[in-house]
Chain A
Amino acid sequence: MIPIRPIHLFFALCPIILFCLGVSSPARSESAEETGLKIAQDSQDREKGFGNFTAQQTMMLRNKHGQESRRQLRVKVLEVSEDGDKSLFVFDEPRDVKGTALLIHAHRESADDQWLYLPALKRVKRISSSNQSGSFMGSEFAYEDLTPQAVEKFTYRYLRDEAYGDLTCTVTERFPVDKKSGYSRQVVWRDKDELRVWKVEYYDRKDAHLKTLTLGNYAQYLARYWRAGEMTMVNHLTGKSTVLTWTDFEFQTDLNDRDFTQTGLKRVR
């Protein structure tokens, strides 16, 4: 039997002592995962209570030769407490799809519900919501880039703080939970003051840097909710880009649940 000397006791207690120091130290308050999740949760909480809004979207699609094509649509979004938002996209341009509408009931825990309205046939089609990674209207935006992303749809890891122009941003990685996502991870720059997203880097399933989204022209509505007026998505593999311009934001309109039903969908024009 080895006699217990004071020095042994010291080594034996060392981890406990260090652990206690660690817990009480302000530097070791949470893990990178916890910090990342907290930023995402704070951002989502800040969005709460907007009620509903309508806006116009104009997309300018550019290929690497500079050829342009325009998309114009109207967007209506309704906040749903304790679940994902309901959104309605109505296409105005190009003219061959005018009046076509997409209704999305987003869910936090399960797959979203989607219906497509085809005005020529007056047909409402329930469609699969598995098409996360597909291109939205031939643009560089995928469906998953445009639909609201609930906190539960990712896991997070805080990376660092970084200057972004005059602002200080948190840089966080987020990893999609859904295997159907086209991305392995996204890196998000969010300013510390107002939690606005300024930049997102998208990495494909092979972890190649596929796209970069930059946001700007922020305006604040109802003295609380920030919305970007311009979102530019650049595809680094193809050299194509899409500039999405948001205009005519209107908050707290008379939209309600009934505008986001299949019956309501047949009424859009």
Chain B
Amino acid sequence: MLRRTALHILPFGAVWILVLVFAVGAHAEIGIDRDFSGRVNVESRWFPKAGAFSGQGAHAIGFVVLPKLYLADAEGRSFTLSPFFRYDNADSRRTHADLREAYFLVFGEIGDGEWELRVGIDQVFWGVTESQHLVDIVNQIDLVEHPNGEAKLGQPMVNITWSSDWGVVEFFVLPYHRARTFPGKSGRLRLPLVVEDEHVEYESEAYLDFAARYSQSFGAFDAGVSVFNGTSREPFLMPGVDSSGMPVFVQYYDQIRQFGLDAQLTVGSYLFKLEAMQRAGARNLLGMEENYVASVFGGEYTFYSVFDSAVDLILLGEWNYDGRGRNATPSRSPSTLENDFFFATRIAFNDVQSTEIVASILGDAGRSTRALFVELDRRLSDQLSLDIEAIHLLSIDKADIHYDTRRDSFVDLRLTYNF
């Protein structure tokens, strides 16, 4: 309890103090660079089928506000602030706020290379593949945003980067742990039991996590190796009861050590991609500690200007493997990605409106779980854009933890105002 409160108050309080300091400084100093941008969107999600649980609605509407303030001095030292808020009328747990970014950035020269320091709340992306982000571990997933797990919660950090001709070394000290967000009782795309949000359990209460990555480009080949030591970002869902005695899942976070590898070879119109990781200390689906390896291997090919038109056609295929097999924990809804294929095609029209269609299928090679994703993106004006997305859950295997989401196919319509 104290942890959660501290988590919310400390960074927010610190950020507001920093903002004030900076604002005062900004007035005192001439030559400060300010930039205010962001987006507001309205969203409507429609679920054609009735949910598996009573109380789940067929329609959800809501909005997102995501402004971004950037302040920099003449030397390029900067402060970035980006708070996030979502309102959802159907699921109170989906109505949530977060600080996506609130960090100071300074950098300078060191020898032939440079150093960079980021202090505050930030987002970090590691990896190359599209079907899942296996080695990407610094930030917690904001799962309530989208079942694809692409949205992430802001992570408090001290990040030092040192880059030179011999490569880039990043080192992270992560003093807080964020718990994953899950849909509530009346929300769609939920598990058989609601995931408790009042309290979270940890193997260790020493929430000081560390991560590091080394990356380098060798001509057409880009590679990175990473290590993470600390509190897992992926919870083990423990059956329990909430304060009113109702059965729930309780999030339990193990202490883990993970080694990651990501690599991409770019040859002509081909991209070859690999992500692999070895994780120790995490529980499997049965609640037993199991060390394992997992990987994603894939390739991408682009047909530029098909039939002499402006249209580009991108084909992508990836294969996901998890050494725990059937005991793998779910990494991306609706499948557990222990032996799953992913095929996607992206059609970029390269027109003035940047119209784009992406269609993909994710399927379990051993089970019957299959899901189809289709998304259309189009700019309506310099500031407005429209995005229509449909997720069709073709089949979910009875043995999958996501079986109760089988009736949660949806069509999502987003209208975004960018400023």
Contacts and interface: CB of A to CB of B under 8 A. Distances in A.
A29 to B, nearest CB: 40
B339 interface: no
A111 interface: yes
Given A128-B302, A135-B350, A269-B80, A94 B418 contact: yes
Interface stretch (A35-43, A46-54, A259-267): A259-267
Nearest to B419: A95
Interface in B182-236: 215, 217, 219-220, 222
A134 B305 contact: yes
A97 B310 CA distance: 20
A105 to B, nearest CB: 9
Interface string B243-256: 00000000000000
A98 B39 CA distance: 11
A262 B114 CA distance: 12
Contacts of A61: 352
Interface of B: 35, 37, 39, 70, 72, 76, 78, 80, 105, 107, 109, 113-114, 116, 122-125, 128, 150, 161, 163, 168, 215, 217, 219-220, 222, 264, 266, 268-271, 302, 304-305, 310, 312, 350-354, 379, 382-383, 385, 416, 418-419
A44 interface: no
B354 to A, nearest CB: 6
B105 A261 contact: no
A32 to B, nearest CB: 30
A111 B351 CA distance: 26
Given A134-B305, A182-B305, A267-B105, A122 B418 contact: no
A96 B116 contact: no
A79 interface: no
A269 to B, nearest CB: 5
9 contacts: A63-B352, A96-B418, A111-B220, A122-B124, A128-B269, A138-B354, A258-B109, A267-B105, A269-B70
B118 to A, nearest CB: 10
Contacts of A94: 379, 382-383, 418
Nearest to B270: A128
Interface in A119-147: 121-131, 133-135, 137-138
A263 B351 CA distance: 31
Given A95-B382, A122-B125, A263 B418 contact: no
Contacts of B264: 126
A96 B419 CA distance: 8
A96 B310 CA distance: 21
Interface of A: 61, 63, 69-70, 93-99, 111, 113, 121-131, 133-135, 137-138, 180, 182, 258, 261-263, 267, 269
Contacts of A97: 354
Nearest to A63: B352
Contacts of B385: 96
Contacts of B219: 113
Contacts of B39: 95-96
B302 A138 contact: no
Given A99-B37, A182-B305, A267-B76, 5 more contacts: A93-B382, A96-B385, A130-B304, A137-B354, A262-B168
B113 A258 contact: yes
**The 9 nearest A-B residue pairs measured at CB:** A95-B418, A123-B125, A138-B352, A258-B114, A130-B269, A94-B382, A135-B350, A263-B163, A96-B418
Given A61-B352, A95-B419, A121-B150, A263 B114 contact: yes
Given A122-B123, A122-B125, A128 B268 contact: yes
A76 to B, nearest CB: 13
B305 A269 contact: no
Contacts of A98: 37, 418
B398 to A, nearest CB: 34
Contacts of A267: 76, 105, 107, 116
A268 to B, nearest CB: 11
Report which residue of A125, A129, A138 has the largest number of chain B beta carbons within 10 angstroms of its beta carbon. A138
A111 B353 contact: no
A96 B163 contact: no
Nearest to B348: A134
Nearest to B271: A128
Nearest to A70: B382
A93 B353 CA distance: 12
A133 B308 CA distance: 10
B266 A128 contact: yes
B268 A134 contact: no
Contacts of A93: 382
Nearest to B165: A257
Contacts of A129: 266
B419 A69 contact: no
